[in-house]
Structure 1
Amino acid sequence: MAARVQGSPALYYCSSFLPVLSRQARPHNWIIRRFFSNLSLSRRRTALALSGQARRGFSFQEDNFASPADLYFEAPLKIVQYPDTRLRAKNKRINTFDENLKKFADEMFDVMYKTDGIGLSAPQVGMNIQLMVFNPAGERGEGEEIVLVNPVVHKASKKTLLYNEGCLSFPGIYADVVRPASVKIDARDVTGARFRVNLSGLPARVFQHEFDHLQGTLFFDRMTEDVLDSIRLDLKALEKKYEDLTGQPSPEKIDNYKQRQEFAGFARI
């Protein structure tokens, strides 16, 4: 078990984001009901304007959209581990909403549940597209399964919270990460329907970790230098493991790492 933040629940994130919440620390049902009630209300009230996204710096050129080849996958899906280059690659937007996309989302949920997770992003399974899945209940048949496609952060709160995070793309590594307490997002569901929703508490934490993956940002990018130093040897061990398995030099080295000053979608906190 990883060290927990005093007075705060411990969150563990899978594969370059499979957020995993320990069963003892999982949220009460009222948190889940309130989140999904807000989501349903937002779906009824809000339609996202494409021009609004464009003003926030998002391009809608054809080459930014996923092709049929980009959307092709084979089951079973496998978790991608650091320092695999797919965790840093550009993730294309989706404009094809069909049975293949639904099947892919279902396969992502299968991987998520098998790893005791509550969220997962497409690059974590080697697919560089803008899609994430999560279920705060963390159990098949409980809560509600949510698929977010092409998500955009509309606003993040100034209030922040500290949690002990982990990631299945970084097996056995856990460390403290500060994130906004709440976010307002725009997205599409698996059918292509647009909606806007406010997230807070656990859903906000899960979303932000997964959204980072869609931007090619890893959880150690958000750690302070002191916290990063505490896991440096573990990261070097993963780099060595990658080199042993592939026979290739690690595509990134923590010894050469320079703290990133800005993150897509968020101001650095």
Structure 2
Amino acid sequence: MAVLPILRWPDARLEERCAPVTGDVSALAADMLETMYAAPGRGLAAPQVGQLLRLFVMDATWKEGTPAPVICINPVITWRSSARITGPEGCLSIPGVTAEVTRASEIRLRYTGLDGVEREDHLTGFAAICAQHEYDHLDGILTLDRIPPVERAAAEAALA
């Protein structure tokens, strides 16, 4: 396993839509988990490490206790609640910037695990927010794209 370099905004690869995973990504997923924990983050999407694949890893609770890593291959959000929650989000590709983002408070996430088994999880609270954030990366959407233009301009200026 290896800690991979994390792409930083404004790298154009972060704004590309990713291709479906068709082969074995077990080594990449292991490296992504190691990179995420070392960063230290709670989620990491393949495009953030330069791999334009529909793959992300997350562990919404490891900072509060026992690690519970999840590897999501070709994920699809199949349902979003109408209830919304707004809260601070950071991104490993946009270090030093935290933005208030509004997201669904609950989702259903269908994905394939490394074992080839398809799952559908009902996620709530921070786990739902984390999954939506990482899922956005697979479609080339960044936190900066989820905030009002004035806030985005201030965030971009802070990064310059």
Give the structure-2-normalised TM-score: 0.91
State the AA in 2 paired with 1:137: T
Displacement after TM superposition at 1:81 (Å): 0.4
Query: Does 2:125 match 1:198?
Result: no
> Map of 1:78-89 to 2, 5 A cutoff?
78-89=5-16
User: What is the alpha-carbon distance in structure 1 between the residues aligned to residue 67 and residue 31 of structure 2?
Assistant: 18
2:102 aligns to what? 178
Amino acid corresponding to residue 116 of structure 1 in structure 2: P
2:76 counterpart of 1:149: no
> 1:1-269 residue pairs with structure 2 within 5 A?
75-97=2-24, 101-138=25-62, 142-235=66-159, 237=160
Whichever residue aligns with residue 80 of structure 1, its letter is L
Q: CA deviation at 1:223?
A: 0.7
CA shift at 1:125, angstroms?
0.6
Deviations 1:103-127 (A, max 9, x none): 1111111111111211111001111
Q: Alpha-carbon deviations, 1:37-80, whole Å to 9, x = none?
A: xxxxxxxxxxxxxxxxxxxxxxxxxxxxxxxxxxxxx9441100
Which residue of structure 2 aligns with residue 46 of structure 1?
Answer: none
1:158-207 CA deviation, whole Å, 9 max, x = no partner?
A: 11111111112111111211111011121111122111111111110110
Q: C-alpha displacement at 1:228, in angstroms?
A: 2.1
**Which structure 2 residue ranges, 5 or more long, are not aligned?**
none
For structure 1, list consecutive stretches of 5 or more residues without a partner in the other structure. 1-73, 238-269
Inter-partner Cα distance in structure 2 for 1:128 and 1:216: 10
Maintained 8 Å contact 1:176/1:227: no
Task: Determine which structure has the larger strand proportion and give its number.
Answer: 2
Q: Over alpha carbons, which structure has the higher Rg?
A: 1
State the AA in 2 paired with 1:144: A
Q: Provide the identity percentage.
A: 33
Distance, in Å, in 2 between the alignment partners of 1:189 and 1:230 is 39
Q: What are the Cα deviations for residues 83-106 of structure 1, in whole angstroms up to 9, with x where unaligned?
A: 111101231111223xxx211111
TM-score, scaled relative to structure 1: 0.56
Q: Secondary structure at the match of 1:204?
A: helix
The CA distance in 1 between the partners of 2:120 and 2:58, in whole Å, is 16
Give 3-state SS (helix, strand or coil) of 2:103's partner: strand
Partners of 1:230 and 1:88 lie apart in 2 by 20
- Preserved CA contact (<8 Å) 1:93 1:130: yes
